[in-house]
């Protein structure tokens, strides 16, 4: 218990045993930090679970998932372009969009690595 560590520290200081007082101080500090971390973990977990429930309640209350033609799959997966090319019973790879890499016309100097 933290109170036992504090009492032990005070008694050790009173008797002149500084090494034992130091150990008792370290134990008391360790107990306080451990308790604070446990409290924070519980608080974060409660907030996280509460926000997930709040998000579900907001989603349900908005009614947006009931809108005609609402997108329910991530973009590109199951889109009209991909579905039109499929034949029944045959799966097709999603179409990859080309990626443009911007060179920006910048002169970038190579990194200088010192020799070891």
Mean pLDDT of the chain: 75
- The pLDDT of residue 115 is 77
Prediction pTM value = 0.42
The mean pLDDT of 8-26, rounded to a whole number, is 93
More confident residue, 104 or 14: 14
Query: In angstroms, what CA-CA distances link 113 with 12, 72, 108, 110?
Result: 55, 49, 15, 9
The mean pLDDT of 43-63, rounded to a whole number, is 82
Residue 105 has pLDDT above 70, yes or no: no
């Amino acid at each position: 218990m933290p109170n036992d560590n504090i009492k032990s520290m005070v008694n050790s200081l009173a008797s002149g045993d500084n090494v034992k007082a130091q150990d008792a101080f370290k134990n008391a500090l360790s107990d306080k930090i451990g308790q604070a971390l446990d409290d924070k973990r519980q608080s974060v977990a409660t907030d996280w679970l509460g926000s997930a429930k709040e998000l579900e309640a907001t989603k349900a209350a908005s009614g947006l998932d009931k809108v005609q033609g609402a997108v329910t799959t991530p973009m590109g997966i199951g889109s009209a372009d991909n579905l039109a090319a499929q034949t029944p019973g045959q799966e097709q790879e999603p179409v990859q969009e080309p990626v443009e890499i911007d060179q920006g016309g910048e002169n970038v100097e190579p990194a200088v690595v010192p020799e070891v």
